[in-house]
Amino acid sequence: MSSSPQHLKVPADASRLPMTLPRLAEKKALGEPIVMVTAYDFPSARAAEAAGVDLVLVGDSGAMTVLGYESTVPVTIDELLVLARATRRGLRTPFLVGDLPFGSYEVSDEQAVATAFRFVKEAGCDAVKLEGGGPVSVDRAAAIVGAGIPVMGHVGLTPQTSTALGGYRAQGRTAAAAARIAREALALQAAGCFSIVFEAIPSAVAEQLMPRMEIPVIGIGAGSAVDGQVLVFHDLLGIREGLGARFVKRYASLQDEMAAGVGAFAEDVRTRRYPAPEHGYSIPAEEFDAFRSGLERTAERRSHRLHS
Ligand code: KIV
């Protein structure tokens, strides 16, 4: 294995150009669907790279998918930075967005900008994402954009504040709630966000908003009128127990495959089918003879000393 994964010798597709903000805007203008997926480590990043996705999000969903927390609330900046750095090492072309964890940006503009800088400087993220479209989130987004870091917004179901939203449930299902999402999305756009996630909102509400959205809108449970779609890596590949949200479409059942693979290995070890001769290493006969004679001579000398 290469000692330096940052300098991968063979890019998945050497002809593909790295995604940039102008290219993303161009995709929206041309009506080309934008693909975003979450990733949290080197192998998931390599899968995203090989698939040629446009955007990769080191989501705070990693709190649950890879760190085993019950929600996104407890995950720390340092924990997400470890995941973001590993993801960065696996990527060449997708635009990398780091999710700012709960409590790392709300307190002040200074706190938000300092956290965003860590994601860019320490993990190589191209941009950051923050949740919510209320006055606090809008101010923080504007401050980070003002400091020169692109920001992706996120409205609708915002898991970091799901307790306040009444749980993990679709948002914007009343006229007032839909109007609030519209206000928030437009405020984040006016604050300078380069893109925005619409999560778990009625498809009709998203569709109604689209003519007002000048920035690319990435949907997750927001229907097909938006500019692109995102799914959580572990959801789409079935590396998770349970069915997940209504919007999840499963393209594989890797959790079952992993359990079956580890189970087969355990069975092989217990029945001594593994390792087979082909899994071992050989030594030239003369070297082995010399080694064995040396061991025998040592044993003889030891026995001689004991009995003299
Ligand atoms: O953390 C995450 O995975 C996200 C996506 C669902 C957009 O925020």
- Calculate mean pLDDT across residues 5-16: 54
Neighbours of 52 (CB within 10 A): 13
Which ligand 1 atom sits nearest the alpha carbon of residue 231? 6
Q: What residues are paired with 196 via a beta bridge?
A: 153, 217
Give mean pLDDT, residues 273-298. 97
Q: Is the CB of 220 under 6 A from ligand 1?
A: yes
Residue pointed to by tokens 């870091």: 149
Give the per-residue pLDDT at 44.
98
Report the candidate in 178, 191, 162 with the shortest Cα–Cα distance to residue 222: 178
pLDDT of residue 14: 59
Q: Is the CB of 59 under 6 A from ligand 1?
A: yes
For residue 59, how far is its CA from the centre of ligand 1 (angstroms)? Answer: 5
Mean pLDDT value of segment 91-114:
98
Yes or no: say if 125 and 84 are a contact pair by the CB < 8 Å rule: yes
User: Once rounded to an integer, what is the mean pLDDT over residues 18-34?
Assistant: 97
Name the pLDDT band for 124 (thresholds 50, 70, 90).
very high
Is residue 296 over pLDDT 70? yes
pLDDT of residue 13: 58
pLDDT, average across residues 56-60: 98
Report whether residue 65 contacts ligand 1, using a CB cutoff of 6 Å: no
pLDDT beyond 60 at 52: yes
The closest residue, in CA terms, to atom 1 on ligand 1 is 59
Instruction: List, in sequence order, every residue forming a beta bridge with 38; answer none if it has no partner.
Output: 57
CB proximity list for 151: less than 8 A, separation 6 or greater: 116, 127, 128, 129, 130, 141, 144, 145, 191, 192, 193, 194
Mutate to test the pocket of ligand 1, among 75, 152, 197 (most ligand atoms within 8 A of CB): 197
Selection from 65, 71, 106 nearest residue 83 by Cα: 65
pLDDT at 8 over 70: no
Is 147:117 a contact under the CB 8 Å cutoff? Answer: yes
Q: Which pLDDT tens digit goes with each residue over 191-234? A: 999 999 999 999 999 999 999 999 999 999 999 999 999 999 99
Burial of 97 (0-12, 13-18, 19+ CB in 10 A): buried
pTM: 0.91
Mean pLDDT of the chain: 94
Catalytic residue among 199, 257, 267, 286: 199
CB of 130 sitting under 6 A from ligand 1 = no
pLDDT, one tens digit per residue, over 143-182 is 999 999 999 999 999 999 888 888 889 999 999 999 999 9
Residues forming a β-bridge with 195: 152
Residue in 36, 61, 131, 162 to alter for ligand 1 test, most ligand atoms within 8 A of Cβ? 61
Report the atom number in ligand 1 closest to the C-alpha of 129: 8
First to last CA, the chain: 53
Our answer on whether the CB atom of 66 is closer than 6 Å to any ligand 1 atom is no
32 is catalytic: no
